[in-house]
Amino acid sequence: MDLLEYQGKQLFARFGLPVSEGAPAGTAAEARAVAEQLGGPVVVKAQVLVGGRGKAGGIKLAADPAEAEQHAAAILGMDIRGHTVRQLWIERASDIASEYYFSITFDRGAKQPLLMLTTEGGVEIETVAEQSPEKLARLHVDPLMGLQPFHVRRLCFAAGIPAAEAKQVGAIIEGAYRAFIETDAMLVEINPLIVTPDGVVRALDSKYTVDDNALYRHPDIAGMRDAESGDPQERLARERGVNFVKLDGGDIGTLANGAGLAMSTLDVVAAAGEATGHRPANFLDVGGGADAEAIATAMEVLLSDPNVRAVLFNVFGGITRGDEVAHGILTALERLDATLPIVVRLDGTNAEEGRRILADAAPPNLHVEATMLGAAARVVELVEGSAA
Amino acid sequence: MDLLEYQGKQLFARFGLPVSEGAPAGTAAEARAVAEQLGGPVVVKAQVLVGGRGKAGGIKLAADPAEAEQHAAAILGMDIRGHTVRQLWIERASDIASEYYFSITFDRGAKQPLLMLTTEGGVEIETVAEQSPEKLARLHVDPLMGLQPFHVRRLCFAAGIPAAEAKQVGAIIEGAYRAFIETDAMLVEINPLIVTPDGVVRALDSKYTVDDNALYRHPDIAGMRDAESGDPQERLARERGVNFVKLDGGDIGTLANGAGLAMSTLDVVAAAGEATGHRPANFLDVGGGADAEAIATAMEVLLSDPNVRAVLFNVFGGITRGDEVAHGILTALERLDATLPIVVRLDGTNAEEGRRILADAAPPNLHVEATMLGAAARVVELVEGSAA
Amino acid sequence: MPIIVTAETRLVVQGITGREGSFHASRNRDYGTAVVAGVTPGKGGQDVDGVPVYDTVAGAVAEQDANTAMVFVPPRFAADAIYEAVDAGCGTIICITEGIPAHDMLRIYNYIRPRGVTMLGPNCPGALSPGIANVGIIPAQVFAAGRVGLVSRSGTLTYQIGKELADLGLGNSTIVGIGGDPIVGSSFIDILERFEADPGTDLIVMVGEIGGDEEEKAGAYIDEHVSKPVVAYIAGFQAPAGKTMGHAGAIISGSSGTAAGKQQALQARGIPVGDSPTAAARLAAERLA
Amino acid sequence: MPIIVTAETRLVVQGITGREGSFHASRNRDYGTAVVAGVTPGKGGQDVDGVPVYDTVAGAVAEQDANTAMVFVPPRFAADAIYEAVDAGCGTIICITEGIPAHDMLRIYNYIRPRGVTMLGPNCPGALSPGIANVGIIPAQVFAAGRVGLVSRSGTLTYQIGKELADLGLGNSTIVGIGGDPIVGSSFIDILERFEADPGTDLIVMVGEIGGDEEEKAGAYIDEHVSKPVVAYIAGFQAPAGKTMGHAGAIISGSSGTAAGKQQALQARGIPVGDSPTAAARLAAERLA
């Protein structure tokens, strides 16, 4: 789960990291009120889960509350790379002498947290990594050893942090590491980490991702999820507990059991549809051991996309039983009164029984195929036919 | 550093372990006041760093404040196995249905904390270990894994803790483990861990030892040290920072550099003096790199024991330099106006120079010996001569 | 000859009294696996379908010589279960549970690795050595015994490829599901090393997917250390960046972890990559022909 | 042939700019040890008596190929220094510092042990291979080169026995101080195993003291695994129970850890125990005669 800048900063503050004083605002009037309370110049910042806010005009300096209100009004509702701005963060403006970068990522390759620090902050870290790799200090921390003082020293020495700032930067590294560990974070990034002209080091932005699987340990963070955001179909899927990802521009709904098979299904559908311009509309994994009810729910999510003109079921039963899948399909067809073409490929546990159940019911729009490639070809054929 | 019962219980409470309500008292009047505040029957408990308080009459049940005052007056000043009672702990009396035992020791053999739990509490754990070892559940915890729920379950199952109490006992194990780790404890013992007739589990006593080397991390615990207690000579040594242990019934003061050599010196002195009944009076390690001043201070501590009638210096220089030792001895003799026989054996770094310095000064009561065994024989001879 | 699950496997099932635990324990036993014990705290002394249940893994190890643990407990309790199995001396842990917090596995991985413990998963289907032993949820009926080693991050996709191989007359030495989480106990390289050393394996099929760089690393490893032919399949060419595709580990971050990148990396090492499970199986059959 | 400190030793001294660190670094170097670097954070780029100083151990390892670290930093910072040396890849750590919290060493021990790192100390005098290398504070002039392996929990007591051996014409292959703390990086058994394997060692002298049960365990180990003659000395017969005798590890708890108990345990295994350093040295000379 990705957090908005101000949510990340709230966590920063909880772990003792210095951030600028500020408050969130949902309306222009609120933005003005916050600016009045802070006094002096403020920065109005769009809160969206996407980069490039500044370039898109989502971050504006305001000299006074009136200007803050104007900027807020302009930014709210703005579309930034597909994300509508519904929330702002208003904070006291900062004087900046230098911009550093610090992050902790969950390095799955090394299986250890990776700390990165550079004095070349304020830009994309990939750029620094490419253009001046010698300026990017990188260090892994064995989680069983834990962050030791030497890690901090080594990182600061390697990045060339001036001695006068090393203590502040060190405390920020320690606080961020604690935050990373204690909030089950997958990413904690501070870019830029600024130094003010009078030598104060402060986090001016935050990028913060928390492991979805660990949210049960952090109900406060789970509560930060922005229920309003995102695609309506994905929201429906989330509400129904269906493992679903929408793909842009597709017209063939797909469903499989198991993430790998579901991904593979997309690939073979895309390959089959390439010549005629048909594409998969979604990823949907019904998971292991799905029962009839789960299948029906998944179908409901699939059909909520009006662009979907045919559906492919690709189920290879392990825990999942073919007879349950067959019942689920029939239940869904009846309940949703679905008439669009549906191709079913069933294999594995109780597959024969499942195929018999489908053959017995024999709804006219249902087509059973024996192989995955055959099913992909068939569903493309059917959606192409329905378009004609 | 060993803590008194009530100090250990204060730490227990800090880590969420249930203890009886109570307060310390230094006078009979204070004891009465505490009893009045608690209401109902109370237990008056002598606070000394030695076992067997109950048998010695140091723990008494009082039905009312007046009786608490009487018991307190009787217990204060009492000598319990060489320890004078100066402090009491007054707590609400408990009804006891069962007595369990739980401890965490620093197992240096296994290099891991060792947890022990048994339902046979209230007696010396060595007795349980000998007489019914099958009732004593033992489990090591790898500190890098940390205490996991399975450790707690395994211990409770192995000890046969009734299911109804397992949750409370489990919470106590978890709290005690946190206390053990977070206070740098060498021992955390609860004996007895009682179960009341209405099923409440509570720590009725505490035995708590904290690593001296880690006290700098725990200034609050360091402040619990009972400066008044112990032998006056050991107190002097502690004040002067001298590594000293008094031995009962000895008449030969000993000093060496390094703990191993100091122990060995005791052994050879004891062997040499066995026939004539002379024994070492102390262990004293001046440590590595002792300078003249440190030697003089150590000598001062040695001579503060009126039973000491001769002194053996056994120094094998590594970091410690023989010339410094020689200067220290001469300084001490002069400063303390010491006339008792002193045998010196110097070896290692700058030993020749040290021996020359001593030979040049040649105080009449100073005898230089070439070997450790020779020095031990000589000091016994001299103390035997001085007794004649 | 099989790897990981063998005729020597003596299995203890953690969470055996749960719905899935009991179902698969029985199924594994019926297949011929020595399912010697189950563990459910508080249910010690009971049995599940004749398999004795213990309160602790230590009890199961002491009384039944269990050497392999299969973890079926819910994700919140899975880390504890894994530690318990390791602490009790099980040298092999197969964790089926899905949804374990990544930081839990981060600690577990770094704990077990220097201690030489073998782990599959979490979020894996287990391992099957056809005709010998099955530990996990792999539907054994799909697979035939043979000389193809199969290693995969995915469950059902593995079954799919197993079936495609079987349709071409090829069987497997062992099918190993390493799991779809960001950190799993065994990497492709760990399993490749075992298949390379296994005289019963002639060819290896590696089934990867988007996310991470294990496939790329495996490619380099194969180039240097694997003498047997390897054929690969990668799923997720259609996956958009930044979206988790079912598996917590299946996510494209920035430009890294794409299926195309993995395919290129493998092909650059001379490892053929099929563009469908069917194609991958055919490549395997060609190599063995 | 020596053990632990050898001609291959390339030493980095942590805390080299301190009083003791600089003194002993120079002394070790003058003896012939390859003292290739020192570390003091913030003093990188300086040198101590010609030895280059780095800010980090990683720097010293990268530029000077240091493989052994000697720790001279104060106890509060010693755990960090040890972790730094391990993390930088030093395979041998010799920690002279006294007074490190026991829990720090508890974690360090359990961390380094499965990773195969060799550690002496804390609170140890180091190791000396006469004529080859000296790492630590052992006064080399006391010892002669020869074929007696010497291992001890104590510093000056070791010098005493070394001198007694030298007086009898015996020299040492290596003198190893394992340290006087409750938990030290290497046990008697670890060192006995190395001396047993060392063709340059003919006899081993083991110098124990009160506290713990390492001597008893060593006795059992010698009985089973050591073919070379072993002679022992134990200090602390006069020590009362419950008092720490200088070394944090030298304390008799209850009935365990007494010198008499250790002596009996060793003698029961047929290992002769001298009742003074002189007697122990004579026993060694007799065995080698």
Angstrom CA distances, A169 to A100, A143, A190, stand at: 10, 21, 12
Q: Does residue B110 sit at the D interface (CB-CB below 8 Å)?
A: no
Instruction: Choose, out of A115, A154, A156, the residue to mutate when testing the contact with D (most D CBs < 10 Å).
Output: A154
Which regions of chain A carry the CATH code 3.30.1490.20? 21-92
Which regions of chain C carry the CATH code 3.40.50.720? 10-120
| Average pLDDT of the residues in A175-201 | 97
Q: Does residue D112 sit at the C interface (CB-CB below 8 Å)?
A: no
- What residues of C are in contact with residue B142 (Cβ under 8 Å)? 87
- What residues of C are in contact with residue B163 (Cβ under 8 Å)? 42
Dihedral over Cα of A16, A20, A26, A29: its sign: positive
Gap between the Cα atoms of C198 and C6, Å rounded: 12
Q: Does residue A108 sit at the C interface (CB-CB below 8 Å)?
A: yes
Q: pLDDT grade, residue A96 (50/70/90)?
A: very high
Of A144, A148, A157, Cβ closest to residue D55 = A157
Which regions of chain A carry the CATH code 3.40.50.261? 232-387
Gap between the Cα atoms of C209 and A259, Å rounded: 9
What pLDDT sits at residue D242?
83
Distance from CA of C193 to the nearest CA of D (A): 21
Q: Which among A260, A283, A347 is positioned nearest to C158, based on CA atoms?
A: A260
Question: Is the per-residue pLDDT at A229 higher than 90?
Answer: no
CB–CB contacts below 8 A, C to D: 3
Among chain C residues, the shortest Cα distance to B143 is held by C111
- What residues of B are in contact with residue D221 (Cβ under 8 Å)? none
What pLDDT sits at residue A344?
95
Q: Which among A323, A314, A315 is positioned nearest to A292, based on CA atoms?
A: A323
Q: Does residue D57 sit at the A interface (CB-CB below 8 Å)?
A: yes
Of D153, D235, D244, Cβ closest to residue B267 = D235
- What residues of A are in contact with residue C137 (Cβ under 8 Å)? 288, 318-319
Chain-chain contact of C103 with A184 (C-beta, under 8 angstroms): yes
What pLDDT sits at residue A293?
84
**Domain boundaries D10-120, CATH class:** alpha beta
Say which of B5, B69, B91, B101 is annotated catalytic.
B101
Of B108, B181, B213, Cβ closest to residue D99 = B213
Q: Which among C84, C70, C87, C79 is positioned nearest to C18, based on CA atoms?
A: C70
CATH of A21-92, one of 1.10.357.10, 1.10.3210.10, 3.30.1490.20, 3.20.20.70: 3.30.1490.20
- What residues of A are in contact with residue D85 (Cβ under 8 Å)? none
Instruction: Choose, out of A150, A152, A157, A161, the residue to mutate when testing the contact with D (most D CBs < 10 Å).
Output: A150
Fold of the CATH domain C139-288: Rossmann fold (3.40.50)
Measure CA of the first residue to CA of the last residue in chain C; give whole Å: 21
Tens digits of residue pLDDT in A372-385: 999 999 999 999 98
What pLDDT sits at residue D177?
96
Taking domain B98-222, whether its CATH number is 3.30.470.20 is answered by yes
As beta bridge partners, residue B163 has none
Which residues 199-258 on chain C approach chain B with CB closer than 8 angstroms? Answer: none
Inter-helix orientation angle D277-288/D156-167, to 10°: 50
Gap between the Cα atoms of D252 and D259, Å rounded: 9
Among chain C residues, the shortest Cα distance to B155 is held by C56
Of B142, B145, B157, Cβ closest to residue C56 = B157
- What residues of A are in contact with residue C254 (Cβ under 8 Å)? 126
Tens digits of residue pLDDT in B47-89: 998 888 988 999 999 999 999 999 999 999 999 888 889 999 9
Dihedral over Cα of D232, D237, D240, D244: its sign: negative
Q: Does residue A167 sit at the D interface (CB-CB below 8 Å)?
A: no
Residue D274 burial (CB count, 10 A): 21
Chain-chain contact of B150 with C44 (C-beta, under 8 angstroms): no
Distance from CA of C56 to the nearest CA of B (A): 6
For residue B135, what is the DSSP state?
G
Distance from CA of D89 to the nearest CA of C (A): 15
> Residue A235 — left, alpha, or beta (φ > 0 → left; ψ -120 to 50 → alpha)?
alpha
Q: pLDDT grade, residue B213 (50/70/90)?
A: very high
Q: pLDDT grade, residue B130 (50/70/90)?
A: confident
DSSP-derived secondary structure for chain D: --SSS-TT-EEEEETTTSHHHHHHHHHHHHHT-EEEEEE-TT-TT-EETTEEEESSHHHHHHHH---EEEE-S-HHHHHHHHHHHHHTT-SEEEE------HHHHHHHHHHHGGGT-EEE-SS--EEEETTTEEEES--GGG--EEEEEEEES-SHHHHHHHHHHHHTT--EEEEEE--SSSS-SS-HHHHHHHHHH-TT-SEEEEEEESSSSHHHHHHHHHHHH--S-EEEEEE-TTPPTT---SSTT---BTTBS-HHHHHHHHHHTT--EESSHHHHHHHHHHHH-
Instruction: Choose, out of B141, B145, B148, B150, the residue to mutate when testing the contact with C (most C CBs < 10 Å).
Output: B150
Angstrom CA distances, B181 to B14, B106, B124, C175, stand at: 13, 10, 24, 44
Gap between the Cα atoms of C240 and A246, Å rounded: 9
B101 belongs to the catalytic site: yes
Active site members of C? 247
What pLDDT sits at residue C125?
93
Gap between the Cα atoms of C110 and D87, Å rounded: 14
Alpha helices in chain C (DSSP H): 19-31, 57-64, 75-87, 102-112, 156-167, 188-197, 214-225, 259-268, 277-288
- What residues of A are in contact with residue C210 (Cβ under 8 Å)? 263
Residue C30 burial (CB count, 10 A): 12
Dihedral over Cα of A330, A332, A336, A339: its sign: negative
- What residues of A are in contact with residue C176 (Cβ under 8 Å)? none
Q: pLDDT grade, residue B291 (50/70/90)?
A: confident
Q: pLDDT grade, residue B388 (50/70/90)?
A: low
Gap between the Cα atoms of C237 and A271, Å rounded: 10
Q: Which among C262, D121, C154, B80 is positioned nearest to A257, based on CA atoms?
A: C154
Could you say which residues of chain C have pLDDT below 50? none
Q: Is the peptide bond prior to D130 cis by the omega test (within 30 degrees of 0)?
A: no
Angstrom CA distances, C287 to C222, C223, C229, stand at: 16, 17, 7
Could you say which residues of chain D have pLDDT below 50? none
Tens digits of residue pLDDT in A293-316: 888 889 989 999 999 999 999 999
Chain-chain contact of A153 with D55 (C-beta, under 8 angstroms): yes
What pLDDT sits at residue A368?
95
Greatest alpha-carbon span in chain D: 57
Chain-chain contact of C80 with B157 (C-beta, under 8 angstroms): no
Mean pLDDT (chain A) is 93
Architecture of domain A232-387: 3-Layer(aba) Sandwich (3.40)
What pLDDT sits at residue A238?
82
Chain-chain contact of B148 with C80 (C-beta, under 8 angstroms): yes
Of A144, A154, A163, Cβ closest to residue D111 = A144
Residue B277 burial (CB count, 10 A): 11
Chain-chain contact of D81 with A154 (C-beta, under 8 angstroms): no
Find chains touching chain C: ≥3 CB pairs under 8 Å. Answer: A, B, D
A25 and A34 Cβ atoms separated by less than 8 Å: yes
Chain-chain contact of D278 with B248 (C-beta, under 8 angstroms): no
Among chain C residues, the shortest Cα distance to A146 is held by C107
CB–CB contacts below 8 A, A to C: 179
Q: pLDDT grade, residue A234 (50/70/90)?
A: confident
Distance from CA of B161 to the nearest CA of C (A): 12
Gap between the Cα atoms of D68 and D119, Å rounded: 10
What pLDDT sits at residue A127?
87
Q: Does residue C240 sit at the D interface (CB-CB below 8 Å)?
A: no
What pLDDT sits at residue A178?
98
Chain-chain contact of C83 with B154 (C-beta, under 8 angstroms): no
Distance from CA of B245 to the nearest CA of D (A): 7
Gap between the Cα atoms of A193 and B114, Å rounded: 45
Q: Which of A96-110, B173-187, B223-237 has the lowest mean pLDDT?
A: B223-237
Task: Tell me the one-letter amino acid at B58.
Answer: G
What pLDDT sits at residue D198?
97
Q: Which residues contact A340 (CB under 8 A, 6 or more apart)?
A: A303, A308, A309, A310, A311, A365, A386
What pLDDT sits at residue A387?
58
Q: Walk across the sheet containing A59-62 and list its strands.
A: A22-25, A88-92, A42-46, A59-62
